[in-house]
C-alpha cells in the first residue's frame, strides 16, 4: 500500500524537515520552507519513496576492459561557447546554465541552437516561459532561423517526452527547469521535489539516448542557482552567465565541467542583433582607460589559458568616520584588507584614517592572487597622488611579510602585454626562470612590494 508522507523542503537550498520551520537550518533563510507530499510504497517491509529510481541494468566490468576513446564533441560556430565547454558540446552531457534575469541566457541558447541547427543537427528548444510566437519574434531579431530548429512551449513532462520521441533531437534546451513539472509528483512546479525529479529524468534521458541537454536554472537573490547543491551535483557542467546590466558585455564562466577546465571564460558583447563574440577582451577592458591619473594600473590576469589585461582603479580619500570604509568591486574585499595591512606595516603608509575603494574596470571579476601587486600599487598611487606610467603592466602575489611571490604563466602574460603595445612589465623576480623575455619590452623583476612601488611610482 502507498502512504502519503508530508515533509517540508527549503526552496533556496533543498534542506528537508519533517515539520515546518520559520528559519531554514541549512541556509539560514526565513520563510523558505514549503510543504511537499511524498508517496511511500511499502515493499516487503521496506519503505521506498516514490517515484523510484529508474536506470539501466548493467553488469560490472573490469576497469581495464573499458574503452577510453576520446569523447566526440559537437562544435558550434560560437567559439567562446566552445572554449568554455572545453572544445564543444559532448553528446549525452547535461549542462546547467544560470544567471540573473534578463542577462541574456535565452538569447545565448537560442543563438547556440541556431548555430548547431545550421550545422545539420536536430535541435529542440522547449520554453516554459515564452510562447512559440514570442520565441519566433526573438529568433527573427537575432537572425536565428533554421529548418532543423524546432520550438515548443510546454511544461508537462509527459508531453515533453512525447515531443522528444517525435523529433529525436541531437541537442535539447529546457528553458527553464523550474517551470517543468511531473504530474506524478504531488508538488507545485519549481519546488524541490519537482526540480529533483525532472532533472533526474533529463539526466537519464541524455545518458541513454545520447542527447546533449541544456537546462536553464533560475537564480536566488544572492545570485546562486535555486537549489544549488541539488542541481549542480546532478549535471555534468555548470555555467554562469554574468555581467552588469549597464555594461554591454557578458561573461560566461564554468564553475563545474566534467569534460573540460573550470577556469575558462567566454566574453560576449550584447548588441541589437544579439550576442557577439569578443575576440580580444584586453582591448575592450582598456578602451576607456584614462592616462596620467593616480590610482590606475593595468594587471595581467589569467582566465583559464587566456591572458586578459584589465584596468584596476583605486581611490584613497580621508574619512570622516571613526572606522574607515573598505569597498571593492570585482576584487575580494578580504584580500584588499590584507593588502592594505601590508602597505601599513611593511611600507609605512598611514591608511588608518583613509577610506579605500578598489574597482576592476569593466565589471570583470578578478580572483587569482596574481592581481595583488597591481592592487597594492594602485592603492599606494592614489594615496600618494602619484600617477603610474601608462605603459606599465604589473602582476604578482603579495605575501604578509611584504614579499612578492611567483605566479604561473608569466610568459603568456608578458606576450599579451607586448601584443597590446605596453613597454614595461613589473613582475616577480622568481617568475623569470625558465623562459626568455621578448626583446622589445622591458622586464623589471621585484622581490618585495617596496621595490615594486619604487619602480612603478618613481
Q: Which residues are annotated as a binding site for ATP?
A: 99-106
CA angle 116, 121, 124 (to 5 degrees): 80
- Check: CB of residue 330 under 8 Å from CB of residue 360: yes
DSSP state of 429: G
Residue 447 CA to residue 295 CA, distance in Å, equals 22
Q: Which of 198, 10, 175 is nearest to 101 (CA)?
A: 175
Bridge partners, residue 359, by sequence? 313, 329
Q: Is 454 helix (H, G, I), strand (E, B) or coil?
A: helix
Of 141, 95, 143, the C-alpha closest to 117 is 143
Joined grid coordinates for residue 193: 521535489
d(CA 389, CA 291): 8
Helix (H) or strand (E) holding 152: strand 149-153
What count of residues does the chain have? 458
Cα(206)–Cα(211) distance, integer angstroms = 5
Rounded-to-integer distance, Cα 383 and Cα 371, Å: 19
Distances from the Cα of 330 to the Cα of 248, 335, 417, angstroms:
17, 12, 21
DSSP of 427-441 = EEGGGGTTS---TTS
What the block records as the C-alpha cell of 429 is: 623576480
**Rounded-to-integer distance, Cα 36 and Cα 359, Å:** 44
| Binding-site annotation, residues | 99-106
Of 364, 294, 302, the residue nearest 329 (C-alpha)? 364
CA neighbor of 303 nearest in space, from 33, 80, 13: 80
Please give the Cα distance from 127 to 190 (Å, whole number): 15
Rg (CA), the chain: 26
In the DSSP assignment, the letter for residue 347 is: I
Take residue 395 and report the three cell numbers written for it. Answer: 602582476
CA proximity to 38, closest of 5, 84, 61, 9: 5
Closest CA to 84 of 279, 283, 244, 240: 240
Q: How many CB atoms lie within 10 A of CB 100?
A: 17
Amino acid at each position: 500500500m502507498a502512504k502519503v508522507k508530508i515533509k517540508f523542503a527549503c526552496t533556496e537550498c533543498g534542506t528537508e524537515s519533517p515539520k515546518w520551520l520559520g528559519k531554514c537550518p541549512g541556509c539560514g533563510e526565513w520563510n523558505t520552507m514549503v510543504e511537499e507530499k511524498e508517496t511511500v510504497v511499502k515493499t516487503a517491509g521496506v519503505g521506498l519513496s516514490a517515484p523510484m529510481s529508474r536506470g539501466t541494468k548493467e553488469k560490472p566490468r573490469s576497469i581495464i576492459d573499458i574503452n577510453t576513446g576520446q569523447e566526440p564533441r559537437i562544435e558550434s560556430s560560437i567559439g567562446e561557447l566552445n572554449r568554455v565547454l572545453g572544445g564543444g558540446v559532448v553528446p549525452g552531457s547535461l549542462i546547467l546554465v544560470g544567471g540573473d534575469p534578463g542577462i541574456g541566457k535565452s538569447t545565448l541558447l537560442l543563438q547556440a541552437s541556431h548555430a548547431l541547427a545550421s550545422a545539420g543537427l536536430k535541435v529542440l528548444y522547449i520554453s516554459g516561459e515564452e510562447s512559440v510566437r514570442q520565441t519566433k519574434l526573438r529568433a527573427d531579431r537575432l537572425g536565428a532561423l533554421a529548418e532543423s530548429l524546432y520550438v515548443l512551449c510546454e511544461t508537462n513532462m509527459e508531453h515533453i517526452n512525447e515531443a522528444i520521441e517525435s523529433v529525436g533531437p541531437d541537442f535539447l534546451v529546457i528553458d527553464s527547469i523550474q517551470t517543468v513539472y511531473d504530474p506524478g509528483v504531488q508538488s507545485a512546479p519549481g519546488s524541490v521535489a519537482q526540480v529533483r525529479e525532472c532533472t533526474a529524468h533529463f539526466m537519464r534521458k541524455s545518458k541513454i539516448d545520447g542527447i546533449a541537454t541544456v537546462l536553464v536554472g533560475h537564480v536566488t537573490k544572492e545570485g546562486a542557482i535555486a537549489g544549488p547543491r541539488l542541481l549542480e551535483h546532478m549535471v555534468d557542467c555548470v555555467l554562469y552567465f554574468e555581467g552588469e546590466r549597464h555594461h554591454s558585455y557578458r561573461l560566461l564562466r564554468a564553475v563545474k565541467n566534467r569534460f573540460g577546465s573550470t577556469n575558462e571564460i567566454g566574453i560576449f558583447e550584447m548588441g541589437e542583433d544579439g550576442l557577439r563574440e569578443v575576440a580580444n577582451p584586453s582591448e575592450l577592458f582598456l578602451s576607456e582607460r584614462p592616462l596620467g591619473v593616480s590610482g590606475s594600473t593595468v594587471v595581467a590576469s589569467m582566465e583559464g589559458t587566456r591572458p586578459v589585461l584589465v584596468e584596476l582603479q583605486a581611490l584613497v580619500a580621508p574619512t570622516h568616520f571613526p572606522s574607515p570604509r573598505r569597498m571593492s568591486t570585482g576584487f575580494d574585499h578580504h584580500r584588499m584588507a590584507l593588502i592594505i595591512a601590508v602597505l601599513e606595516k611593511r611600507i609605512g603608509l598611514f591608511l588608518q584614517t583613509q577610506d579605500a575603494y578598489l574597482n576592476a574596470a569593466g565589471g570583470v571579476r578578478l580572483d587569482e592572487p596574481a592581481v595583488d601587486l597591481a592592487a597594492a600599487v594602485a592603492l599606494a598611487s592614489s594615496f600618494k597622488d602619484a600617477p603610474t606610467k601608462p605603459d606599465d603592466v604589473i602582476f604578482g602575489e603579495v605575501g604578509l611579510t611584504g614579499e612578492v611571490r611567483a605566479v604561473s604563466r608569466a610568459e603568456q602574460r608578458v606576450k599579451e602585454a607586448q601584443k597590446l603595445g605596453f613597454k614595461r612589465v613589473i613582475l616577480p623576480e622568481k617568475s623569470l626562470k625558465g623562459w626568455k623575455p621578448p626583446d622589445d619590452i622591458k622586464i623589471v623583476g621585484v622581490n618585495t612590494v617596496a621595490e615594486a612601488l619604487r619602480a612603478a611610482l618613481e
